[in-house]
């Protein structure tokens, strides 16, 4: 079993997965910072100073100035502002991943278009024939040059 695990690790799949996971965690930290430090203050300014990270409902009916104050008091809270931040983060991550996949797909299409065409199809037997051929090697039909 140890030998099989060693082979699995050496194939590269586990290493690629680990690298992808670490990159995803780093990317999440960047997007979280983008949302919390750049987008939410601008959104708060547009919405007359609203700070979503401090939007909450105290379940005990108490009146607390901040979410941290309510949590330190031991009150159960519904922190819907954090949920709004998470939704915005998700939308940003999904959009960036969409752009990455779209870019990769366009690169693939460009690579496929660059592939050199070396054969043509015989109109009679539909076999592949070299471009310079004047007769089909399969059905011996005369081909246009």
CA angle (84 as vertex; 82, 85 as ends), nearest 5: 65
Q: How confident is the model at residue 49 (pLDDT cuts 50, 70, 90)?
A: low
Per residue in 62-92, pLDDT tens?
Answer: 889 888 899 899 899 999 988 988 888 788 8
Q: Nearest CA to 122 among 103, 136, 108, 110?
A: 136
Q: How many domains does the chain have?
A: 2
- Mean pLDDT of the 30-57 span: 80
Same-domain check for residues 131 and 93: no
Same-domain check for residues 21 and 64: yes
Using the predicted structure, report yes or no on whether residue 98 has a pLDDT greater than 70.
Answer: yes
Query: What is the per-residue pLDDT for 111?
Result: 76
Same-domain check for residues 120 and 107: no
Same-domain check for residues 66 and 90: yes
Same-domain check for residues 60 and 9: yes
Q: What is the spatial distance between Cα 40 and Cα 92, in angstroms, rounded to a whole number?
A: 13
- Mean pLDDT of the 40-60 span: 80
Same-domain check for residues 40 and 97: yes
CA distances from 98 to 76, 91, 115 (A): 37, 10, 26
Quote the domain boundaries for residue 11. 2-114
| pTM for the predicted model, two decimal places | 0.56
Same-domain check for residues 106 and 124: no
- Give the helix/strand (H/E) hosting 128: strand 128-130
């Amino acid at each position: 079993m140890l030998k099989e695990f060693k082979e699995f690790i050496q194939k590269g799949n586990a290493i690629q997965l680990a690298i992808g996971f670490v990159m995803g965690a780093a990317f999440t930290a960047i997007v979280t910072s983008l949302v919390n430090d750049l987008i939410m203050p601008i959104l708060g300014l547009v919405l007359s100073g609203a700070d979503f990270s401090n939007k909450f409902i105290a379940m005990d009916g108490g009146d607390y100035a901040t979410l941290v104050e309510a949590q330190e008091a031991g009150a159960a809270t519904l922190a819907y502002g954090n949920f709004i931040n998470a939704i915005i983060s998700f939308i940003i991550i999904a959009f960036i991943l969409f752009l990455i996949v779209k870019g990769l797909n366009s690169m693939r299409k460009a690579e496929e278009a660059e592939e050199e065409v070396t054969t043509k199809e015989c109109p009679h037997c539909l076999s592949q024939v070299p471009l310079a051929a004047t007769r089909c090697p399969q059905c011996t039909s005369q081909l246009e040059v």
